[in-house]
Amino acid sequence: MTANSLPSSQGYQHFVTSNSRQLNAEIAQERVYSFLADIVKQSPPEDVLREFKSLFIDGLDSPTSDYVPGIYGIFFDDKEQEFRNTLKRCCYIIINNWETNRKYKYIQELVNLFTTKNLRTETINSPIINICKCWLDNFINSNDYKEIKLFAARYNEPDKNFWTHRYTSYLLVAQSLNENNSKEQQEAARKLSKQIKDKFKFELAMYIARCQSAASSTTRYNNPSILGDNVLHLIKVIVLKKGVFSHKNIANIFVQQTKNQILKEFKGSIIKYLFFSVEHQELAKSLKQQFVDKLSLWKTEHNEETITKKFFLRTCNRVIDFLTTENGKEPSSLFLLLLSQGNPLTLVIILLKIILICRNSRIHLEARIAHLIYYYEKYSADECKWVINFIEIFNITFAIYADNVEYNLIQMKEDQDCNPQLNLDTYRVFSQLKANPQK
């Protein structure tokens, strides 16, 4: 079936309705998906929106009706969940194409189709229509629709009381990893998350370049973080550790030295590696002991086995769990310990050190950040400033250590009275976007 042979808006609605009894739901779903996949590639967005509206919304505003409108007839025999899955996948077939082709404003129009007031008004003389409206209303009030709205959120005026909008990239990572989501949703989430992170990295690099120039006007650059001008000092602290004792070099040494270790040995090595040179020794001692207690009890039945690449990844992922959220629902005790003591940078650096030895754990870490955001989203920005501060520092640190950006700290003048490493005012940060980022 091609787009040229597909019926028009009203014709396709009739096609679905009239054939729903002869087709099983799975065949009908595939025909709907093919129909939308074809027209979204070949038709103007206005026509695609009209076709989508015809399938899922038109007919629900009828004051009386004794037939099942549009696509609802396929699922009317107690298949609300299948209807919701179909509606959700159809949305992502469209969103994925429009994201790829930069037709961003139409994604907002797709989301707005579900805000029609009469969809929520009960139709007195049509119990059938009321059931269909109930299904659609349940979808609108579900996490599925909430996830779809993330794709349009960047075009809306942000709600100052809804702080999680700043961290959409992590919520999208969680979507991309959820195997219950369609391949279209996973792909769309993956692409948009990368776009948002790349935009932040670029804006941060531009801000650093311009804010240190006396010739630059404050109206010519934008700080992508919410840390204010303090972000420059933070970046200097993060970039300062270079040379032989840089985090990257120590990570490379660790990987080489732990080859062919058994799990029990590897546990001891990773503990030493993560807590090497951690500041705040009293806190580090308490943190390390709790960490040791957790890690030593994990997978003890495999303690004598040699670490493989797969087990290396699993261990790093579990370490991330200990430091963020162990069940994906609430923060871990170690996360609370570090942040309640006002040490977000310490936690971020430990997480960074994990990713520097195991880059494949990055996506798992970002998903765990998403789980923390979901946990804290019920609180106001004022109630969880410390969590927001952690995520902001996390964003900046991982932007600095990105593969396609290079940051360097250059001392501009000697300071005879102070240790130059401690007088960061004598340094400037230089950022450079690499032409050929490492894959």
Q: E strand or H helix at 432, and its extent?
A: strand 427-433
Res 194 pLDDT > 70: yes
Domain total in the chain: 2
Res 206 pLDDT > 90: no
- Residues contacting 25, CB < 8 A, separation 6+: 74, 75, 79, 82
Asked if 368 contacts 319 with a C-beta cutoff of 8 angstroms, the reply is no
Both tokens assigned to 421: 């490493």
Considering the domain boundaries, does residue 435 fall inside one? no
Considering the domain boundaries, does residue 216 fall inside one? no
Cα–Cα distance, 374 to 383 (Å, whole number): 15
Identify the pLDDT of residue 437.
Answer: 47
Which residue, among 48, 140, 180, 165, has the nearest Cα to 103 in the 3D structure?
48
Enclosing domain of residue 270: 225-402
Whether residues 93 and 232 fall in one domain: no
Asked if 211 contacts 429 with a C-beta cutoff of 8 angstroms, the reply is no
Cα–Cα distance, 171 to 189 (Å, whole number): 9
Cα 111-116-119 angle, rounded to 5 deg: 115
Cα–Cα distance, 172 to 367 (Å, whole number): 9
Phi, psi of 306 (to 5 degrees): -70, 140
Q: Give 238-271 pLDDT, tens digit per residue.
A: 887 655 578 889 999 999 999 999 999 999 999 9
Considering the domain boundaries, does residue 426 fall inside one? no
Identify the pLDDT of residue 187.
Answer: 94
Side chain identity at 236, as an amino acid letter? K
Identify the pLDDT of residue 218.
Answer: 52
Instruction: Give the pLDDT band (50/70/90) at residue 225.
Output: very high
Asked if 126 contacts 65 with a C-beta cutoff of 8 angstroms, the reply is yes
Domain boundary among 156, 178, 207: 156
Res 6 pLDDT > 50: no
Whether residues 140 and 273 fall in one domain: no
- Strand-pair category, 405-411 with 427-433: antiparallel
Share of the chain above pLDDT 90, in %: 51
Whether residues 234 and 151 fall in one domain: no
Identify the pLDDT of residue 14.
Answer: 45
Q: Give 63-86 pLDDT, tens digit per residue.
A: 555 565 678 878 877 688 989 999
Cα–Cα distance, 211 to 235 (Å, whole number): 13
Res 61 pLDDT > 80: no
Q: Give 362-421 pLDDT, tens digit per residue.
A: 999 999 999 999 999 999 999 999 999 999 999 999 998 877 777 877 766 665 555 545
Considering the domain boundaries, does residue 437 fall inside one? no
Domain boundary among 95, 126, 156: 156
